[in-house]
Amino acid sequence: MTPLFPNPDDQRLTEAVAGIDHTGAPVEIRVPVERALTLYLNAQEIVTMMTINDYPEYLALGYLLNQNMLKPTDVVTEVEYDDDLQVVVVRTEHGTNFEQKLKKKTLTSGCAQGTAFGDLMESIEDIELPQTPLRTSWIYQMTHEINTKPSLYLTAGAIHGCVLCKEGTPICYMEDVGRHNAVDKIAGWMFRHGVSAADKIFYTTGRLTSEMVIKTVRMGIPILVSRSGFTSWGVDLARQAGLVLIGRAKGKRFIALAGAERLVFDQDLAYVKDDAMGARRKAAQDD
């Protein structure tokens, strides 16, 4: 399967905006373009999301899967996207139980339209994650490759990234204005292409919150890595679920707060470079 990476040259995703800088000099920068996307499951309107809308079909499928409104065993007969109406419709072979779930919807700490449902906690209690080991060499290879890929983050900023990796190699890299959207697009891509989760690593630029841990566990991915920090509930849930949780992964440093016993320290740190993402982002801002 061909790896999927961001396309910062896609003119639909950013636009030029004029302003002034701290000296009063005129500047023009590129910023991400937010679009409203309304999701329907069969005949029922579910939610309107703010997104860069580069992969609406994957976003729709992943949202429904991660909200437990669509089961991995459900048969999806069609995913229809109308660019003029900014509407995506997911059609299934049989009806779903989304009506009851909508009644239990609650807001979470996720930015923009992040939501979770009351039964998500129960659903992850039944999931047994594979006890996949994590080599530290994979962490450094993975973060280096992610940090050196062309991305909307480097072009325009104000965006989150999530990456699915096999060992140290990125295979699907999604970005969006909300981290939950980026997660959901990867979940939809995995569902659409039948990608196994058991031997994968999930990387995010966002915080390691309860929402992020729940979605990773629901996707069946045994390892979650971030360049950002943790919340206490995110750590508690990761430990309960048997998820390897790595945060503050920048340059040579990282911290493991769950699943540390599965780490294999096989990387000589003398050969690991410093934070490439931070250096590249600063260079881009100075241009």
- Residue 122: per-residue pLDDT: 63
Q: Does residue 250 belong to any structural domain of this protein?
A: yes
CA–CA dist 204, 160 (Å, integer) = 8
DSSP 8-state code for residue 70: S
Note the Cα 77 to chain centre separation in Å. 25
Question: Is residue 89 within 8 Å of residue 114, measured between CB atoms?
Answer: no
Bridge-partner residues for 105, per DSSP?
A: 117
Q: Does residue 126 belong to any structural domain of this protein?
A: no
User: For residue 245, which of 227, 261, 257, 254 has the smallest C-alpha distance?
Assistant: 257
Q: Does residue 152 belong to any structural domain of this protein?
A: yes
The token duo for 76 is 């999806």
Q: Does residue 208 belong to any structural domain of this protein?
A: yes
- Residue 126: per-residue pLDDT: 81
Q: Does residue 62 belong to any structural domain of this protein?
A: no
- Residue 221: per-residue pLDDT: 98
Q: Does residue 174 belong to any structural domain of this protein?
A: yes
Q: Does residue 121 belong to any structural domain of this protein?
A: no
CATH at residue 247: 3.40.140.10
- 223-226 and 244-250 strand pairing: parallel
Residue 67's SS3 state is coil
CA–CA dist 162, 200 (Å, integer) = 13
Q: Does residue 264 belong to any structural domain of this protein?
A: yes
DSSP 8-state code for residue 23: T
User: For residue 192, which of 58, 71, 46 has the smallest C-alpha distance?
Assistant: 58
- Residue 42: per-residue pLDDT: 94
CA–CA dist 52, 177 (Å, integer) = 7
Number of structural domains, the chain? 1
Parent domain of 207: 134-286
pLDDT by position in tens, the chain (length 287): 789 999 999 999 999 999 999 999 999 999 999 999 999 999 999 999 999 999 999 999 999 999 889 988 999 999 999 999 999 999 999 877 665 555 555 444 444 444 444 556 666 778 899 999 999 999 999 999 999 999 999 999 999 999 999 999 999 999 999 999 999 999 999 999 999 999 999 999 999 999 999 999 999 999 999 999 999 999 999 999 999 999 999 999 999 999 999 999 999 999 998 775 555 555 555 55
User: For residue 272, which of 123, 122, 167, 137 has the smallest C-alpha distance?
Assistant: 137
Amino acid at 118: G
- Residue 61: per-residue pLDDT: 98
